[in-house]
């Protein structure tokens, strides 16, 4: 059952991501990105992350994508035009850079292919696995061990709001 659901929603994810690449109009790309985020929320539920799934739907598929769609409609964005390639740097360094990147990737894969499974440390759950990932257990961790980072993120959000207001303001 889990495997079937994983394949259904994984295929939906990949289909949405590829549709994002193929579509020419940004509003179609935004809608396919919402499909990807909704399917990812289902995958989080399969992994037992109830809190993350709910936040994924509310923040990503809700707030962030509404912001995207709002800006697309505000700027009246049309289909993207393709200009001829004019970057001299890309023409000169493109092929050597690509070969260099591929070589680095192959070296990393070959280097780490034989390693064992890594063991990560961290605070584990005390009261069994039934409550793993529900809002109460995440809140226990978030408001105790990660209290300082949580407060710092509130300052970050405040600065982001101020920055957005200042940047988007119309010049007099």
Partner 1 sequence: MVPLSYYLVLSAILFACGVAGFLIKRNIITIFMSIELMLNAVNLTFVAFAAELKVLSGHVFVFFVMVVAAAEAAVGLAIIISVFRTRETLNVDRVNLLKL
**Which residues ranging from 108 to 137 are in contact with partner 1 (CB under 8 A)?**
119-125, 129, 132-133, 137
CB of 147 to partner 1, least distance (A): 11
> Could you tell me the end-to-end alpha-carbon distance of the chain, in angstroms, rounded to an integer?
60
Question: Residues 23 to 52: which contact partner 1 by CB under 8 A?
Answer: 26, 29-30, 33, 36-37, 40, 43-44, 46-49, 51-52
Distance CA 45, CA 43 (A): 5
CB of 24 to partner 1, least distance (A): 9
Please enumerate in sequence order all residues whose Cβ is within 8 A of that of 138, keeping only pairs 6 or more positions apart, or say none.
51, 52
57 binds partner 1, rule: CB under 8 A: no
68 binds partner 1, rule: CB under 8 A: yes
Distance of CA 23 to the CA centre of its chain: 19
Of 101, 108, 141, 172, the one binding partner 1 by CB under 8 A: 141
Coil, strand, or helix at residue 91? helix
151 binds partner 1, rule: CB under 8 A: no
Of 10, 38, 54, 57, the one binding partner 1 by CB under 8 A: 10
- 4: its two tokens: 């079937």
54 binds partner 1, rule: CB under 8 A: no
CB of 26 to partner 1, least distance (A): 5
144 binds partner 1, rule: CB under 8 A: no
Which residue, 76 or 111, is less far from partner 1 as judged by CB? 76
Distance CA 97, CA 94 (A): 5
60 binds partner 1, rule: CB under 8 A: yes
Distance CA 59, CA 57 (A): 6
Distance of CA 65 to the CA centre of its chain: 12
* 132 secondary structure, DSSP code: T
């Amino acid at each position: 059952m889990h495997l079937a659901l994983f394949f259904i929603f994984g295929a939906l994810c990949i289909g949405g991501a590829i549709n994002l690449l193929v579509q020419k109009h940004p509003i179609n790309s935004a809608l396919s990105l919402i499909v990807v985020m909704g399917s990812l929320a289902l995958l989080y539920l399969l992994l037992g992350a109830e809190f993350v799934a709910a936040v994924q739907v509310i923040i990503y598929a809700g707030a962030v994508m509404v912001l995207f769609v709002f800006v697309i409609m505000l700027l009246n964005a049309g289909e993207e035009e393709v200009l001829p390639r004019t970057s001299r740097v890309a023409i000169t360094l493109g092929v050597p850079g690509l070969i260099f990147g591929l070589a680095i990737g192959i070296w990393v894969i070959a280097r780490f292919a034989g390693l064992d499974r890594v063991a990560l440390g961290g605070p584990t759950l005390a009261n069994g696995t039934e409550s793993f990932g529900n809002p109460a257990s995440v809140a226990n961790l978030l408001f105790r061990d990660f209290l300082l980072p949580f407060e710092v993120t509130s300052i970050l959000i405040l600065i982001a709001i101020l920055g957005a207001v200042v940047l988007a303001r119309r010049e007099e």
